[in-house]
Structure formats: structure tokens, C-alpha cells
Chain A
Amino acid sequence: MELARGRVLVAGAAEGRVLRLAEPLSFWGGVDPRTSALTDPRGPSAGTNIAGRVLVLGSTRGSSSSSAILLELLRAGRAPAALILAEVDAILVIGVVVAREMGWPTIPVLELPLADHAALEDGMAVHVAEDGAIAAA
């Protein structure tokens, strides 16, 4: 069953459980590049691991080093399974573009309006298709 359809920013297929964050995330200072755990103690999801999750973000903030953290996760195979962003984030997409250029694994990145995020419930197993379709797995 199709739950939502995002605009494809970086194409790819993936499967994983949804991790939907209400708070804005900065990958630098917010994700441990060695463990993929969320680290900001002010955030309600501190300690949660983002590796292998279909990460759904309402907004991003902060550092321009977030691309470097995402690249590090991609090379180590500890990245989220897919990124679903309310608005295209120029800093995060660079991490994926560079990973592809270096010949390392990449992940799909979709743009999906915030209003459609409610269809993706936290913890739900989903499949992301090349064409941007997000379906229950």
C-alpha cells in the first residue's frame, strides 16, 4: 500500500523502519559519526540510533559539517536507509553526492511536504522505491 510519494532528490531503493524526528536536526553535533546515535541531550530522541532507519525530518539546522558526518556514516555503512526531508537540504545532499563520486554506498533522498509526514508513523516498516513511492513493507 502506497503511503506517500516524495520528489526524488537522489534516486535509490531502500527498506527500513521509519524514524520521524519532531525536532530540527543538525547531523554535526547531533549524530555521533562512530555509532550513528543521536547525541544532543536537549533533543527528545537522544540515544536513538539512526543507522538503517528511514529518517523523516521536518527540518534541519546548524552546522555546514553535517554533510561530512553523513559521508562518514555512508562510507562506514552506518547511514540511515533513506532520508525523507520536508524541504531539500543543500548540506545533507552533498554528503550523498560525494559518496557516489567516491564510489561508496549511497541512499535515496526524497523531498516530502511536511503535511504528508503524518502518513509515515514512527517505527513502521516501509519500502522506498526508485520513483519516490513510499509503501508499507
Chain B
Amino acid sequence: MTELSSDERALADGRNGPAAAMAIRIVAETARILGAERLVPVTSAHVDGCLYHGDSGVHFVERLVELEGRVAVPTTLNVGALDLIHPERVHADAHATQMARRMMVAYEALGCAPTWTCAPYQVGHRPGRGEDVAWGESNAVAFCNSVLGARTNRNGDFLDISAALTGRAPYYGLHVAENRLATVVVETHALSARLKAEDAFYPVLGAWLGAEVAGAVAVFDGLPADMPEDRLKALGAGAASTGAVGLFHVAGVTPEAPTLEAALGGRVAELRIELTPEMVRRVRDSLSTAPDGPVDALAVGSPHYSVAEFNTLLDRLAGRRMSRPFYACTNRQVLKDLEDSGTLASIEAAGIEIITDTCIVVTPILPAGGGVLMTNSAKFAQYTPSNTDYEVVFGSLGDVVESGVAGRVVRDEAAWN
């Protein structure tokens, strides 16, 4: 039985209007089903429900607008199905375009910030350690918990906006301190420093984690202490697309894992796994569905590309031009930073098309007719074969750049052997 506070009962009775009443019913009913004893106040929300999958989600959010809904906490928006800055780059049909736009307009009307990004943590939405929040979108959730140390469950679409309208979420799972302790230790000592210095190792490590532990909390031991945020982002995104990972720790790196013992809360691990180079290689290979050969298109930016990642991409290109369509997905804040710094001109001159507000696996962007897409994102690799008519080849950023220039898969295998 879920106990509601007097404040929450007042919301249900319509104190803040009919939309908040509907939203608290949804939050409370979900809490009941999950067996949560109570709700927890949240200080921010990130809403994934603004992506068009069909008309039902549009009707839901327009109902909330009709009922005069207004978010109760600062709320950012995940990607929509349209690139509002370069609308011609999305080839959705007229009905989908119209409904996707209605949906985006309705979420803004509820008071959500039009960030349109799966990386809200790159545009200043960074709750503090221990803060209870209600985020949606699997990579954003993994980042929020693991890298920021804030507390959120993997909220499904519609629960996210319901939490935003009420400032409440079901109290269970990763809001509870004890459930945030690691139960699995992943040893990486048998892996080379060379491999650990390779960006592409991290999405692969994430893809392995999700497939191996499903939703359990794991702590990695033996990873470099100076791990940049973009590697943690890639790790979490990989883990959250092959599994149901909402939180992972990296000993000596992430906020709840100053040491291995701290991440375990002093308990003995239920499971210890020692990673071998062969295991890593096998997972990397499993991310591809097509053999190495001709490449028809390339994509980076799931999660959305950061300024640092764009600069690395340009360094790797060293003035050369892509010979195949190359898409870099990002958010409008990063686009503005690239404009302001003058980097955008170099990116466009290299034949790289920037996609904002959305990405290539959630809406039709890739050239019609299908083929083989190459990417350095485990998440793109996971979703491309099912959401587009492309097969996929996974490689490092260096491989992606060389392959984009050559028009066929080119690999540097040194780090993986």
C-alpha cells in the first residue's frame, strides 16, 4: 500500500488543477504496482516522452495541456522526432511531422525547457550528489546516477512528465541508498593500458555490462582514474541499451565509488567477473551485423556529441573530407558553441552534416534504400538494424573517420589484440 502525504492527497483532490491531479494518480498507481510505500519529492525532471512514436503520446500530452498542466520542478526535454533547426534533414511523412510538432509544442506549453537532447547533463542540467530527481531516457538516467551521483529510477515515458507536474516520484529502487551499492565487481586488470586508452573500449564495455548483469549494480576496478566524462557517457549508454542498467560505479572515478570497498558498502560482492581481452573483442564484434566491406553512411553522436568530441573528430580528419554521408547528432547548445568558436565551418567543409534536436535512429534521416551504416556508438549499433533499414558496423572513432574518407571499412586493430 502506498501512503500519500497530506500534500500529495491535496494534489489528487485538485489543489493544483486537474492536470496535476491526473499526474499524481499516475505516479501513485505506478508506486502501488511497484510496491513503493511512499512517494519521494524530486527537484528536477528530464522527460523522454516528447518523442513521437504514434498518436497516443500526442493525445496524452495534449490532455495535460487542456487540463492546464504546468511543471512543478525544472524540467528538460529529450529529443523529439524533428530537427527544428534543419527541418529538411528529417524525412518523416506529413502526418508524423505534424503530430511530432504538436507533441513538441505541447511539452513546451507545460513549461519544459526546449533542450531537445539525450545529454541534458551537457546543457547545464546537473543535479547534485544525493539529490532525488525523476529522469527518463536510458543513457541520461545512467549518467545522472553514475556520474553525477543524483538519484533516479529508469522512469518510463509518461511517468517522467507526471513526476515533473507533481514534483513526486515513487520511492523505490535507486532512490533508496542501500540499492545503490554494487553487488557485482568487474576486474579489468587483465586488459592492456592501450585498450583502456581507446575511446571505443568504453561503449563496448557498456554493451558487455548490460548484456551480462541486466539491471544489477556493478563496480569496475582497474580503470584509469582520469576517465573523461565522454567515456563515462559512452559506457552508460552502451549498458543501458543492451541491458536495464540505471547505475554503475567506477572505483576511484565516480562519486559513490571513492574506493572499491565504498562502492560495495563494505559487503562482499555476490559476483566477481574478470574481463579478458577475448571477451572485450567478442562484444565489440557482436555490435556489428554486417561484415567489413563497403560503407554507405556513417553516424556519431548517441548520446549527443559534445564540443570535445567534435574537436577530436576534426583532429582525426586532419583536413580531409568524407566520401559518404556522415551524420553528427547533437543538441542546439553544442551547435551554438560550434558556431561561436568558428568550428562549424570546418565541420561542414569536411562533409559532416549536423543533426540537432533529434538523431538518426529515432526518425527518418538516413538516405532511403538502406545499406551499411558505420558508427562508434554502441547505442546506434544496438538500434540501427531494428529502427532503420540499415545494417551496422561498429568501430572506433579513428576507424569511422578513415572509413568515411575511404568509403569502406578501415580498421586499426592494434588496441584490440
B partners with A: yes
Are the CB atoms of A93 and B240 closer together than 8 Å? no
B159: nearest chain-A partner, CB-CB? A94
Which 9 pairs, one residue from A and one from B, show the smallest C-beta to C-beta distance?
A91-B156, A67-B156, A72-B54, A94-B156, A75-B56, A68-B157, A39-B386, A40-B386, A29-B383
Interface residues of A in 80-137 (CB under 8 A from B): 88, 90-95, 97-98, 101-102, 104, 109
Q: Which residues of A contact B56 (CB under 8 A)?
A: 68, 71-72, 74-76, 102, 104
Assess whether A64 is in contact with B154, with CB atoms less than 8 Å apart. Answer: yes
Closest approach, in angstroms, between the C-beta of B26 and any C-beta of chain A? 6
Q: In the complex the two chains form, what is the Cα distance from A47 to B35 in whole Å? A: 35
* Residue B76 is within 8 A (CB to CB) of chain A in the complex: no
A residues sitting closer than 8 Å to B (CB atoms) are 9-10, 24, 26, 28-30, 33-34, 39-42, 59-69, 71-72, 74-76, 88, 90-95, 97-98, 101-102, 104, 109
CA–CA, A9 to B30, complex, Å?
10
| B137, B159, B214: the one within 8 Å of A90 (CB) | B159
A94 touches B158 (CB 8 A): yes
Known contacts A62-B240, A69-B53, A97-B29, A88 near B214 by CB under 8 Å: no
When the two chains form their complex, are residues A34 and B54 in contact, meaning their CB atoms are under 8 A apart? Answer: yes
- Report how far A52 CA is from B361 CA in the complex, Å: 28
Count A/B pairs, Cβ under 8 Å.
139
Are A61 and B158 touching (Cβ within 8 A)?
no
Measured in the bound complex, the distance between the Cα atoms of B55 and A75 in whole Å is 9
Can you list 6 A-B pairs with a CB-CB distance of less than 8 A? A29-B386, A60-B244, A63-B241, A71-B60, A75-B59, A90-B34
* B53 and A94 within 8 A (CB): no
Contacts of B54 in A (CB 8 A): 33-34, 68-69, 72, 75-76
Residues of B in contact with A (beta carbons under 8 Å apart): 22, 25-26, 29-30, 33-35, 48-49, 51, 53-57, 59-60, 63, 136-138, 141, 153-160, 170, 173, 210, 214, 240-244, 289, 361, 382-383, 385-387
Q: Which chain A residue lies CB-closest to B155? A: A64
How distant is the Cα of A71 from the Cα of B56 in the complex, in angstroms? 7
A28 neighbours in B (Cβ, 8 Å):
53
User: What residue in chain A is nearest B173 (Cβ atoms)?
Assistant: A90
Closest to A109 in B: B33
B154 touches A68 (CB 8 A): no
- Decide if A71 touches B158 in the complex (CB within 8 Å): yes
Choose one: B22, B53, B156; the contact of A101 (CB below 8 Å): B22
Are A68 and B57 interface neighbours, CB within 8 A?
A: yes
- How near does chain B come to A8, taking the closest CB pair, in angstroms? 9
Interface centre among B136, B156, B157, B382 (most CB of A within 10 A): B156
A64–B29 CB distance below 8 A? no
Known: A60-B244, A61-B210, A64-B156. A102 touches B30 (CB 8 A): no
Say whether A64 contacts B214, CB under 8 Å: no
Residue of A nearest to B384 (CB): A29
On whether A68 and B289 interact (CB within 8 A), knowing A88-B34, A90-B159, the answer reads no
In the assembled complex, the CB of A40 is this many whole angstroms from the nearest CB of chain B, namely 5
B59/A102 in contact, CB under 8 A: yes
Partner of B158, one of A40, A59, A98: A98
Q: Which residues of A contact B55 (CB under 8 A)?
A: 72, 75
